[in-house]
Amino acid sequence: MVSDRIPPHDGSPDPSDRQQPALDRATAELEAAVAAGDDERVAAAFQRLGGLLGPAGEAESAAVGPRLAALLPELPPFPRARLAMMVGACVERGADPVACAGQVLAGLRGALSGALLLVERWAETGGGDLPDPDEDDPALAHARIEDPDRLAEWHAHRAVIGWWTLHLWQMASFAVCTHAAVRTAARADGVTDVLLELIDRYGEGQHDLKGLNHLAKTLDDEPLLVLDRPSGTGYLLRMDGLTDNFQLHTLLADVLIGGGHLPGSPPDPEAVALSRTEELDGRRRVTAYGSFNLVAPDGTWIWNEGTPSDIPVVDGFRTLVLEPQAYERSWSAGRYIQQVPGDLRLERVLAPAEAADRLSRAARALPFEEAFR
């Protein structure tokens, strides 16, 4: 969690009765210093704010979170990234995530673009190990990638800033994107598509963006059409906050087998609870077992290791075909993103003729050997 990275002030884990006025005053001082363009006042206010935010409680964090987010465009790059992490901590403690998300996700986009530029330029200047943001000097990296004939100084600066601050923007963005309202707005505005394209280009780099990638792909209030080939039946369901297909598989078994619509053994209620809202406590492993083979309408397999966004849209609905299992599968029950509650609800059972028509147009699953090619 982002808030775990902000140390308590004076070693005290709890805010005092005077904490909220002090935090409010520190935020107001930062706002005034930024408005005045006084760098020394900004630095002093920023340091004081960081010390007060560590032990802050939910009420005071919620109050200052959007105000701090509004200041992000006004600060220099490194303080801006550190302030973004503070905004993420405020969101984790109750600040309005939608009010905080716009500037945070814009900063993430800039950091990703800069980091990609550094990776590209690093390869052009000899390759080798990329710089370590925790150990290496950004000035040395800047000197290496700067080339007035090919890369203007401003672009080199942007590349170094992006690489050195990406982890902070990642943490802040993760905090806001655990909220469905932020994910919905970002998807509607096209922000999600841009971020996913940048994350995909970055790949398996030095910064771990896998969790953020799963969050960006998470579907909310999304209809899902499920066709069960063995029984010839069909079901319209609705997904919320499902971050991985292991989770989807468990909840499908709960709704369809546990609900009496399909034959088979329903999943362990504890596995279902962990796939919805319950938290893993680390004391024991709860095992979930496979019930179906998940298949796209064209016959390709939908892997449990993927996300529900892998399911293709056909005639306006993400459409999934259930086939008999090709082999037995089991996995540790739970959610890939613990901070996001998941849900899968049955809205209606398709009429037999409608289910038969849709199944007639769906290909059978590819053979096991082809699926692994």
Same domain membership, residue 191 and residue 227:
no
The pLDDT assigned to 285 comes to: 86
Same structural domain for residues 9 and 56?
A: yes
Give the model confidence (pLDDT) of 278-313 as tens digits. 987 766 789 999 999 999 999 999 999 999 999 999
pTM of the model: 0.89
How far apart are the C-alpha atoms of 215 and 197, rounded to whole Å?
14
Which of 180, 196, 217 lies at the terminal end of a domain, its last residue? 217
CA dist., res. 268 & res. 266, Å (int)? 7
Above 60 in pLDDT, residue 17?
no
| CA angle, residues 135, 140, 145, in degrees to nearest 5 | 120
**Whether 166 and 23 share a structural domain:** yes
DSSP 83-136: HHHHHHHHHHTT--HHHHHHHHHHHHHHHHHHHHHHHHHHHHTT--SPP-TTTS
**Are residues 352 and 205 part of one domain?**
no
Domain boundary, last residue among 163, 194, 217:
217
> Are both 245 and 364 inside the same structural domain?
yes
Q: Could you tell me if 271 and 292 lie in one domain?
A: yes
Question: What pLDDT, on the 0 to 100 scale, is given for residue 147?
Answer: 80
Residues 277 and 153 in one domain: no
Number of domains in the chain: 2
pLDDT tier for residue 148 given thresholds of 50, 70 and 90: confident
Same-domain status, 254 and 204: no
DSSP state of 329: -
Tell how far CA 327 is from the center of its chain.
Answer: 31
Residue 17 neighbours by CB under 8 Å, 6+ apart: none
Q: Which domain holds residue 346?
A: 222-371
Residue 244 and residue 204 in one domain:
no
Tell me the sheet residues that pair with 238.
Answer: 223, 345
Q: Which of 162, 183, 217 is the last residue of a domain?
A: 217
